[in-house]
Amino acid sequence: MLYEIIRILIPATVSFIFGMAATPVLTHYLYKHKAWKKAPGKIALDGEAAHIFNDLHKEHEVRAPRMGGIVVWGSTLLTVFGIAALARLMPNTASLQLDFLSRSQTWIPLGALLAGSLVGLVDDILAIQPRGGGLLLRHRILIVIALSGLTGWWFWAKLGVVSLSIPFASPLYLGILIVPCFVLLSLALYASGVIDGIDGLSGGVFASIFASYTIIAFVQQQLDLAAFCAAIVGGLLAFLWFNIPPARFYMSDTGTMGLTLSLAAVAFMTDSIGGGVGVAVLPVIGMLLVATVLSNVVQVISKRFFGRKVLQVAPLHHHFEAIGWPGPKVVMRYWVLSVVFAFVGVIIALAALPVTPYAVSPQQTMLYEAPATVIP
C-alpha cells in the first residue's frame, strides 16, 4: 500500500516541479510577444455587450497574457512521457514500476487532454492577433462534439461500455446511447470552462476535482489512471502558484478545453470500467462547474423569455463581484466549497463501491483459527 501511494505522489511532485521550472520561461515568452487580447471587452451569450463584466475586467484583459494552461498540460505531458522514457532507458530499475503510460487506463484521458489543449491553443493564438477573436463558438462546439464523439464511440465499441453506474442502485443500461451521453457530458464540462474568469479561480477548482478522481481511481486499483490525475493536479498547483492574484497569466482555452475533455474521459474510466460510479458523482464533485453552467442557462432563458435578468451578470462568480465581493473573496470561498463538494463526492463514490472481503494471509488465518479439539 505504501509503495502504491508513493507511485501516485511521485508523478504529482514531478509535474509540479516541471511546471514551476518552465513557467518563468513561458511567461517571458508570452510577455515578450504580448500574448494578450489587444482590445478589451466581451460579448454576452445573447450577442449583446457584457457591460457589467467589461466594467469589472476590461483593464485586466489586456494586462496579462493568455495560454497559461500550457503550464498544466505541458508539465503533465513531460511527466508522463519523461517517466515512460526513463523506464525504457533503464528497464532494470525502479523507474519501470513508476511508468503509468498504459493503453488500458491512460491513453484515452491523455489523448483527450492533448487534443483539447491543442485546439484551445489555436483558439488562443487567433484571439491575441490584432484583429482576432479566436475560433467562433459554433466551430469550437463542433470540434468538441467531434472529439467527444470519437472518444464515446471508443468507450462503446472497443471497451464495451454500455451502461452507467448508479450509486446504491442497478446500472442504467444505455447501449449505443452511451456515445451521445459522453458527448453531452463533454459539452456540459466544456461550457463550465468559463469558470476561468477570476485570478486563481479555475486552478483551485480543477485541482480539487482531479484530486478527487485520483483518490477514486486509486481505491479502484486503477493506479495508472490515479497517477495521471495526480500529475494533472501537480501541474495545476504549479499554474496556481503563478495565477494567484495578481495573476501572471490566464489559463484560457488551451487549459480549460483540454482539462474538461480529459475530465469527461476520467469520469467514464472510473465508472463501470473501474466498478465505480465516476459519472454519477461528477455533478457533486464538480458542483461549482454545474453552478457555473446553470447560472448561464438561467440568465439566458430569463432574458429571452421574461425580459429580465436573474443575476446582475453571469456566470455566478461574476455576479458576486458585481454585488461588491472582492475577487479574492470569491476565489477563496469557491476554493473552500470545491474542497467540501470534493469530500462529499468521494465519500459517495467510495460508499457505493462493492464491499470485498479483507485479504488475510495463510499465516494470519492460522493465528485466528481455533485450536483443534483433541479427542483422547
C-alpha span between 38 and 286 (Å, rounded)? 33
Count Cα neighbours of 130 within 13 Å in the Cβ-side half-sphere.
0
The dihedral region occupied by 23, where left means phi > 0, alpha psi between -120 and 50, and beta the remainder, is: alpha
C-alpha span between 63 and 305 (Å, rounded)? 37
Phi and psi, residue 128, nearest 5°: -90, 0
In contact, 123 and 254? CB cutoff 8 Å = yes
Question: What does the DSSP 8-state code read for residue 315?
Answer: S
Q: Where would I find the H helices in the chain?
A: 2-32, 51-57, 70-89, 95-98, 107-127, 137-157, 178-191, 201-219, 223-243, 253-269, 282-285, 287-306, 316-322, 327-351, 362-368
253 is in an annotated binding site: yes
In contact, 221 and 179? CB cutoff 8 Å = no
Instruction: List 173's β-bridge partners, or say none.
Output: 163
C-alpha span between 285 and 268 (Å, rounded)? 14
What are the binding residues for Mg(2+)? 253
What are the binding residues? 253
